[in-house]
């Protein structure tokens, strides 16, 4: 895939899956805006990795939960580059994937759901709201939203997290239906458990082993395993795909 001359904005790219996605785009020649929330050193490391991979990159600090901060970020990227071709909504509200310590339904409050909804759908809404007018003006663009294979097979019922990611799928498909005639594609990538990441660090080894045993490819995804499918959906190789959910979990979900 060749992303030379393309500008890519990746949210939540200071570590984990987002960092792997940013560096994969850079390796294909893209200019990458590495969005992050607070860890300056980690973002600088990702930027250095992008440049070492062969692309250009710079860090853009913004809380994607704030519409004003997002608008300022998008305006700045457009002022610096004149375009944004690809948006990857990867940022999420912090969540610990620990089956033993998760909240059961009876322990959850509506605020738990709302927090995850704001972190998944709200953040994606903010960035799309700021960026879609630019893509409409150019009549082109690709948006890839990171969801979860739990929306199809909740092997662990993380009620609040999975409900929010399910809503993000619905958000994405409605956006795809509206923006398709304007030349803008919207798709989702749904990873299974990805290790190691900050969120999966609390996942016990015995549970990881159980997931491996149930997975046809007999391992757990690494962050870089998610990057390839994201690049595919962002590229012209998938130019006739929109509104789709691509599961990246070694065959745990098959459909």
Q: Which residues are catalytic?
A: 161
Residues in the chain: 255
Are the C-beta atoms of 150 and 217 separated by less than 8 Å? no
Residue where the block lists tokens 């300022």: 72
Sign of the dihedral defined by the CA atoms of residues 186, 192, 197, 202, in that order:
positive
Range 32-62 burial, b when 16+ CB lie within 10 A, else e: bbbbbbeeeebbebbbebbeebebebbbbeb
Q: Which parts of the chain fold into alpha helices (H)? A: 16-27, 40-53, 67-81, 110-117, 123-138, 159-179, 205-214, 223-234
Tell me the C-alpha to C-alpha distance, in Å, between residue 61 and each of 38, 132, 180: 7, 20, 30
- Rounded Cα–Cα distance for residues 218 and 12 (Å): 28
Q: Which two tokens stand for residue 221?
A: 């995804």
Are the C-beta atoms of 77 and 50 separated by less than 8 Å? no
Q: Which two tokens stand for residue 155?
A: 């092997």
């Amino acid at each position: 895939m060749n992303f030379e001359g393309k500008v890519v904005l990746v949210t939540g790219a200071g570590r984990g899956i987002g960092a792997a996605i940013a560096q994969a785009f850079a390796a294909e020649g893209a200019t990458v805006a590495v969005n992050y929330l607070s860890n300056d050193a980690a973002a600088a490391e990702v930027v250095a990795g992008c440049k070492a991979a062969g692309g250009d990159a710079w860090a853009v600090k913004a809380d994607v939960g704030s519409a004003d901060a997002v608008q300022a970020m998008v305006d700045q990227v457009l002022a610096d580059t004149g375009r944004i071709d690809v948006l990857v909504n990867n940022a999420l509200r912090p969540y610990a994937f620990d089956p033993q310590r998760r909240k059961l339904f009876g322990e959850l409050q509506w605020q738990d759901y709302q927090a995850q909804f704001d972190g998944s759908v709200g953040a994606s809404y903010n960035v799309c709201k700021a960026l879609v007018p630019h893509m409409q003006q150019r009549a082109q663009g690709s948006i890839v939203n990171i969801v979860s294979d739990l929306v199809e097979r909740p092997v662990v019922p993380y009620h609040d997290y999975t409900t929010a990611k399910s809503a993000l799928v619905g958000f994405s498909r409605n956006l795809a239906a509206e923006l398709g005639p304007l030349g803008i594609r919207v798709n989702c990538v749904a990873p299974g458990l990805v290790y190691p990441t900050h969120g999966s660090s609390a996942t016990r080894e015995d549970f990881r082993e159980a997931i491996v045993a149930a997975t046809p490819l007999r391992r757990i995804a690494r962050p870089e395993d998610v990057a390839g499918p994201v690049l595919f959906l962002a590229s012209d190789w998938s130019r006739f795909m929109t509104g789709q959910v691509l599961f990246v979990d070694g065959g745990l979900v098959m459909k």
